[in-house]
């Protein structure tokens, strides 16, 4: 489904990614972990199309998408969230989530100006779909009409997940979905992520620092350190891997 | 207080006038507009027409600047293109197409031409943002005015001395009085506002706001920045082109100097003062920007009482006073008149339980 092959990325003299290769497990959750500065977010940006890799390729459904821009990749069915929430702050929760469904609608400019007819029926169908499939699912009914700026951090994260879900993606990339959350919020978010995977069968790629969560919900884990892929395997294999322990805790004296 | 406002379908929740108060306001405004057309005196009609023409343009600016977050200092030029295109088309069709149809052909063609030029002027927006974009669009405005004034095209545009404009004839209805023009202008302005509002109930308008609020996030949702930025430019230019067409029909003669930087700035000022990215912001802004100088003028003429010596002193003061009022207003209400209205509505909603 999503396959990364020998990905190299550098900024000037800094080599951010040095030959990353792995495959996201279809219909399962794959975790990407590593210490700060390991290249996790750079990897995400390269996969979603913001960075052009120096070498290597990203395959989606057997097709090389390395040359496509972020908006084209979204059309193919890739969604993502950002580490530091990237919602549209001037809009309500409902409008933010509706934006996620942008590529699923066909309303043209001319139809939009008239509204009555095609645009109206599309919008009403969308509203119903979003209310029932996203807002109800994520339990955010009570805040749907509020502007983003009025929401606490944890809820903003959940709305961002909702916006990604509205795309009905086949691959969902979550960049630190529980960063800065307390234990209860983390547990809630983990449950939502598992629900998404179970209910929609979405392939999920997850960057996260919370080891408990990664070990609990991921089927496969990829470990990065200084841009290099130092381990890959099941959570159990990875947590026993000497290279991983060394990267996280430092070598024994 | 808003009560009795239970919605039982998504459709009723998605309406523009989704409660009784909004309905009363909208339908009441239509009645007032009709009464105004029937009973207002010629002076009031003249002012109202100026408001209506500018309003059409400012709704366009609001789409571009208020909703898409792109600044243009060149939109006065699009008003010029609309006005000159309509005039030139009328002259070209004179005697070939029946008079009753000329305007109905000229307006859509002029608006389309303006939109296409809008796309070209919008091209820099893909590379530059903010002030740099403002400067790039400013250049476009200079080029348009230069072409209009140039000797080579003076046969079509009348050059620096301007050109006489046609009287529109809509299927046999000749709009040869200001009052008739007012009806045409107000219908156009209401449709412009309605279309502008409809836009933001659909994916197109939402994409514009997404680009304004966070462009990389818009891209990740599959919104092509290229496509939507240019669409926003084309649409705002089309609105300005429509305003230009109304301008040409309303006045007996148009001059290139009427469409220079001052007009572009006036359009931006109106949208900022009224409230950027709000449906009725342009309406409030245009009313303020047309009425306040007019009120100052009337006050000044009362003060001077026709005395030439004091008029000479007061005249330049009028613009200074207007400028100071604008600055003062923006310091007190940076979010525009619409924000005052919001506060009033909120207070009314809570009454009698809480204030503020």
pLDDT digits (tens, 9 = 90+) for B85-121: 999 999 999 889 888 899 999 999 999 999 999 999 9
Q: Cβ distance B338 to B281 under 8 Å?
A: yes
- Give residue-wise pLDDT tens across range A1-52: 899 999 999 998 899 999 999 999 999 999 999 988 899 999 999 999 999 9
Q: Is residue A130 part of a domain?
A: no
Q: Is residue A159 part of a domain?
A: no
The whole-number average pLDDT for the span B314-329 is: 85
Q: Is residue B233 part of a domain?
A: yes
**Residue B247 structural domain:** 19-260
In a mutational test of the B interface, the residue from A65, A70, A100 whose CB has the highest number of chain B CBs within 10 Å is: A70
Rounded to whole angstroms, the Cα distance separating A24 from A1 reads 7
Q: Which residue of B has its CA nearest to A103?
A: B222
User: Residue B138: pLDDT band by 50, 70, 90 thresholds?
Assistant: very high
Query: Is the predicted pLDDT of residue B140 greater than 90, yes or no?
Result: no
Query: Is the predicted pLDDT of residue B25 greater than 70, yes or no?
Result: yes
Complex ipTM value = 0.90
Q: How far is CA A252 from CA A156, A224, A242, in A?
A: 41, 20, 11
- Tell me which chain A residues have a C-beta less than 8 angstroms from the C-beta of B223: 71, 99, 102
Check residue A248 and give its pLDDT: 83
Q: Is residue B318 part of a domain?
A: no
Q: Cβ distance B254 to B246 under 8 Å?
A: no
Q: How far is B64 from chain A (nearest CA, A)?
A: 14
Q: Is residue B301 part of a domain?
A: no
Q: Cβ distance B211 to B47 under 8 Å?
A: no
Q: Is residue A109 part of a domain?
A: no
A100–B221 CB contact, under 8 Å: yes
The whole-number average pLDDT for the span A168-191 is: 93
Q: Cβ distance A97 to A162 under 8 Å?
A: yes
A50–B199 CB contact, under 8 Å: no
Rounded to whole angstroms, the Cα distance separating B29 from B24 reads 8
Question: In which residue are the tokens 């572009």 written?
Answer: B264
Number of domains composing chain A: 1
Check residue B326 and give its pLDDT: 87
Check residue B55 and give its pLDDT: 97
- Give residue-wise pLDDT tens across range B222-254: 999 999 999 999 999 999 999 999 999 999 999
Q: How many helices (H) and strands (E) does chain B have?
A: 15, 4
Rounded to whole angstroms, the Cα distance separating B173 from A77 reads 54
Q: Is residue B106 part of a domain?
A: yes
B216–A113 CB contact, under 8 Å: no
Q: Is residue B313 part of a domain?
A: no
Question: In which residue are the tokens 């979905």 written?
Answer: A177
Name B14's Cβ contacts closer than 8 Å, sequence gap at least 6: A123, A124, A127, B201
State whether residue A113 sits within 8 Å of chain B by CB.
yes
User: Residue A171: pLDDT band by 50, 70, 90 thresholds?
Assistant: very high
pLDDT above 90: percentage of residues in chain B: 65
**What CATH number does the domain containing A31 carry?**
3.40.50.300
In a mutational test of the A interface, the residue from B112, B202, B210, B233 whose CB has the highest number of chain A CBs within 10 Å is: B202
Rounded to whole angstroms, the Cα distance separating B323 from B121 reads 29
> Which residue in the set A90, A114, A123 is minimally distant from B277, CB to CB?
A90
In a mutational test of the A interface, the residue from B64, B222, B346 whose CB has the highest number of chain A CBs within 10 Å is: B222
Number of domains composing chain B: 1
- Give residue-wise pLDDT tens across range A84-107: 899 999 899 999 999 999 999 999
Q: Is residue A133 part of a domain?
A: no
A88–B198 CB contact, under 8 Å: no
Rounded to whole angstroms, the Cα distance separating B77 from B85 reads 12
B212–A79 CB contact, under 8 Å: no
Q: How far is CA A241 from CA A37, A86, A209, A250, B81, in A?
A: 20, 35, 17, 13, 70
Query: Is the predicted pLDDT of residue A151 greater than 90, yes or no?
Result: yes
**Residue A22 structural domain:** 2-77+169-249
Closest CA to A207 of A161, A175, A249: A175
- Residue B153 burial (CB count, 10 A): 14
Per DSSP, the three-state class of A224 is strand
Q: Is residue B272 part of a domain?
A: no
Name A126's Cβ contacts closer than 8 Å, sequence gap at least 6: A98, A101, A104, A105
State whether residue A75 sits within 8 Å of chain B by CB.
yes
Q: Which residues of B200-230 are buried (b: 16+ CB within 10 A; e: fewer)?
A: bbbbbbbbbbbbbbbbebbbbbbbbbeebbb
Q: Is residue B225 part of a domain?
A: yes
> Which residue in the set A80, A101, A127 is minimally distant from B220, CB to CB?
A80
Q: How far is A148 from chain B (nearest CA, A)?
A: 12
Q: Is residue A244 part of a domain?
A: yes
Per DSSP, the three-state class of A172 is strand
User: Residue B2: pLDDT band by 50, 70, 90 thresholds?
Assistant: low
User: Residue B8: pLDDT band by 50, 70, 90 thresholds?
Assistant: confident
B220–A79 CB contact, under 8 Å: yes
The C-alpha R_g of chain A, in whole angstroms, comes to 19
B202–A80 CB contact, under 8 Å: no
- Tell me which chain A residues have a C-beta less than 8 angstroms from the C-beta of B224: 71
> How many beta-carbon contacts under 8 Å exist across A and B?
110
Rounded to whole angstroms, the Cα distance separating B298 from A33 reads 72
The whole-number average pLDDT for the span A115-137 is: 93
User: Residue A252: pLDDT band by 50, 70, 90 thresholds?
Assistant: low
Q: Is residue A131 part of a domain?
A: no
Q: Is residue B351 part of a domain?
A: no
DSSP code for A29: E
Q: How many residues are given for chain A? A: 253
């Amino acid at each position: 489904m999503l396959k990364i092959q020998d990905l190299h990325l550098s900024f000037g003299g800094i080599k951010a990614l040095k030959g990353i290769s792995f495959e996201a497990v279809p219909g399962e959750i794959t975790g990407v972990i590593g210490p700060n500065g390991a290249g996790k977010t750079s990897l995400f940006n390269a996969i979603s199309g913001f960075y052009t890799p120096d070498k290597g390729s990203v395959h989606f459904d057997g097709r090389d998408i390395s040359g496509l821009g972020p908006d084209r990749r979204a059309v193919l069915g890739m969604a993502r969230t950002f580490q530091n929430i990237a919602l549209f702050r001037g809009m309500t929760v409902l409008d933010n989530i509706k934006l996620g469904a942008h590529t699923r609608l066909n309303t043209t400019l001319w139809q939009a100006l008239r509204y009555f007819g095609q645009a109206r029926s599309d919008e009403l169908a969308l509203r119903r779909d979003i209310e029932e499939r996203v807002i109800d699912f994520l339990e955010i009914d009570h805040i749907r009409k509020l502007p983003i700026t009025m929401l606490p951090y944890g809820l903003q994260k959940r709305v961002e997940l909702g916006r990604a879900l509205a795309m009905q993606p086949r691959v969902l990339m979550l960049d630190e979905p529980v960063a800065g959350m307390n234990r209860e919020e983390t547990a809630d978010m983990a449950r939502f992520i598992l629900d998404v995977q179970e209910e929609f069968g979405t392939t999920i790629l997850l960057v996260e620092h919370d080891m408990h969560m990664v070990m609990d919900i991921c089927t496969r884990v990829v470990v990065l350190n200084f841009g290099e892929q130092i381990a890959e395997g099941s959570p159990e294999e990875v947590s026993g891997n000497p290279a991983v322990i060394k990267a996280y805790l430092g070598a024994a004296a | 207080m808003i009560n009795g406002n239970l919605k039982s379908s998504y459709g009723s929740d998605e309406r523009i006038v989704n409660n009784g108060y909004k309905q009363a306001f909208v339908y009441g405004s239509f009645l007032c507009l009709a009464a105004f057309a029937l009973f207002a005196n010629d002076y009031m009609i003249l002012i109202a027409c100026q408001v209506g023409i500018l309003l059409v343009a400012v709704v366009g600016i609001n789409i571009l600047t208020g909703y898409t977050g792109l600044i243009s200092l060149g939109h006065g030029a699009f008003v010029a293109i609309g006005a000159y295109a309509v005039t030139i088309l009328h002259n070209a069709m004179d005697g070939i197409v029946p008079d009753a149809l000329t305007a109905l052909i000229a307006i859509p063609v002029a608006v389309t031409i303006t939109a296409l030029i809008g796309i070209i002027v919008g091209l820099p927006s893909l590379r530059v943002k903010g002030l740099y974009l403002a400067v790039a669009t400013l250049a476009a405005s200079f080029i348009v005015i230069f072409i209009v004034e140039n000797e080579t095209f003076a046969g079509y545009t009348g050059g620096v001395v301007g050109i006489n404009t046609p009287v529109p004839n809509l299927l046999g209805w000749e709009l040869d009085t200001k009052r008739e023009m007012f009806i045409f202008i107000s219908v156009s302005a209401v449709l412009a506002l309605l279309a502008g509002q409809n836009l933001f109930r659909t994916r197109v308008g939402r994409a514009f706001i997404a680009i304004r609020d966070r462009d990389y996030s818009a891209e990740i949702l599959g919104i092509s920045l290229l496509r939507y930025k240019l669409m926003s430019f084309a649409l705002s230019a089309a609105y300005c082109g429509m305003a230009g067409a109304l301008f040409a029909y309303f006045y007996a003669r148009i001059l290139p100097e009427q469409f220079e930087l001052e007009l572009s700035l006036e359009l931006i000022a109106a949208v900022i003062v009224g409230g950027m990215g709000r449906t009725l912001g342009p309406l409030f802004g245009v009313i303020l920007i047309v009425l306040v100088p007019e009120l100052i003028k009337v006050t000044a003429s009362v003060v001077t009482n026709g005395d030439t010596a004091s008029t000479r002193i007061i005249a330049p003061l009028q613009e200074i006073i207007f400028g100071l009022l604008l600055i003062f207003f923006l310091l007190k209400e940076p979010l525009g008149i619409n924000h005052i209205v919001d506060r009033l509505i909120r207070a009314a909603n809570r009454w009698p339980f809480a204030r503020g």
